[in-house]
Structure 1
Amino acid sequence: MATASLTLILGGARSGKSRHGEGLIEALPGPWTYIATAQAWDDEMRTRIAEHRARRSPDWLTVDAPLALAAAIAATPPGRPILVDCLTLWLTNVMLAEQDTQAGCADLLRACAGRAGPIVLVASEVGLGIVPENALARRFRDEAGRLHQRLAAQADRVVFMVAGLPMQVK
């Protein structure tokens, strides 16, 4: 990852996105910052969060940022490698909080562009399935797709994960 300062990792559920992102960051000198966007709304999510935390070494500093993602990126010391996991949950949180998604995405893009140091963004690709049946789900799919396109254009590297295998897209 020496030349790529912004990496976007996309893929389906349980495709190995997070583990691949962690590996990219851990190949760099620590300490590392893990910006987590998940909220533990139920036992299943609490278990997923615990699994993610358990596999990370103590060299990781975890910052919880379910909504204020751009601010968390900006507050991370310059040069420190960052993993954001995941944009899909962050966008869900923003939409459910009825915040301005356009402004939030613009803030995120600015924070990434202004970052002095490597950053890896993990996101679920949600545009490969059937058209969702309800308006909120369709809006989410569209917002995520637009965000991914804008980040991919800005990224130095884009990786698509399939069955634990990284496919270099850009």
Structure 2
Amino acid sequence: MLVFVSGGARSGKSAVAEAAVRRAAGEKPAYYVATANVSDGEMAERVARHRRSRGEGWVTLEAPLALASAIAQVPGGGVGLIDCLTLWASQVLYPPADSARHPTPEQALADLAACLEDARRRGVALVIVSNDLNEALLPTGDASAETWRYVDFLQRAHRLVAGRADSVLEVVAGGCVEWKPESRAGSRPFQGDAKR
């Protein structure tokens, strides 16, 4: 099972995704693949707040870039959450100055595709979260080239994930709209959460 959860900033998508992962995991540990690179106090507090809200029963895997390597650590038949592609995309496009080996955008998308293929092959239920930046007004003019480059790359990642997903959810103010109902898996982990 692969589920893509998208929505605007602070829409409640992480809470929706975490609740679904907890239901799918049951008594088994849930694996949280964290893509954040903690670089300042504000980000550290945000990460700490997320950890507190998740509670017990999660195994955290730090993976700012290497999603396939992180998902390879989730046991077959396990449940994982990647949160989020938005931060992952920024790290792909804007590596630190001291980064010796950094993937190109094409290599990063290939790694993301390998991650999805590995999860499906091994029966890992995977939920992936990302911000839908098209919900906001994007800048225009000469200074907007980098913004559009970022949005283009992120939307390519979104299309890749949504195209392979069993279910695509959009979160608006904490509520869900299911755009692509699950068709390949036998159970519906979001029953009762989604409005059609």
| Partner of residue 94 from structure 1, selected from 87, 92, 96 | 92
- Secondary structure of 1:39 counterpart: coil
The aligned residue for residue 59 of structure 2 is 61
Superposition pairs for residues 109-128 of structure 1, below 5 Å?
109-115=113-119, 116-128=123-135
Q: TM-score, structure 1 length as denominator?
A: 0.92
CA distance, structure 2, for counterparts of residue 89 and residue 131 of structure 1:
18
Q: CA deviation at 1:63?
A: 0.7
The aligned residue for residue 104 of structure 1 is 108
Q: CA deviation at 1:106?
A: 1.6
- Secondary structure of 1:152 counterpart: helix
Q: CA deviation at 1:77?
A: 1.3
Q: CA deviation at 1:162?
A: 0.3
The aligned residue for residue 148 of structure 2 is 138
Q: Which piece of structure 1 moves more, 47-56 or 130-139?
A: 130-139
CA distance, structure 2, for counterparts of residue 55 and residue 11 of structure 1:
19
CA distance, structure 1, for counterparts of residue 38 and residue 160 of structure 2:
28
The aligned residue for residue 169 of structure 1 is 179
The aligned residue for residue 185 of structure 2 is none
Q: CA deviation at 1:105?
A: 1.1
Describe the shift of the 1:60–1:91 C-alpha distance in structure 2 as closer, same or farther (beyond 3 A): same
Q: TM-score, structure 2 length as denominator?
A: 0.81
User: Does the alignment pair 1:40 with 2:47?
Assistant: no
The aligned residue for residue 8 of structure 1 is 4
CA distance, structure 2, for counterparts of residue 127 and residue 142 of structure 1:
10
Q: CA deviation at 1:131?
A: 3.2
Amino acid at match of 1:70: A
The aligned residue for residue 23 of structure 1 is 19
Q: Which piece of structure 1 moves more, 17-26 or 66-75?
A: 66-75
| Partner of residue 154 from structure 1, selected from 164, 167, 170 | 164
Instruction: Name stretches of at least 5 consecutive residues in structure 2 with no aligned partner.
Output: 96-101, 181-196
Instruction: Name stretches of at least 5 consecutive residues in structure 1 with no aligned partner.
Output: none
The aligned residue for residue 187 of structure 2 is none
- Secondary structure of 1:19 counterpart: helix
Q: CA deviation at 1:18?
A: 0.5
Amino acid at match of 1:110: A
Q: CA deviation at 1:35?
A: 0.4
Q: CA deviation at 1:136?
A: 1.6
Amino acid at match of 2:117: A
Q: Which piece of structure 1 moves more, 104-113 or 57-66?
A: 104-113
User: For this pair of structures, how many residues does the alignment match?
Assistant: 166
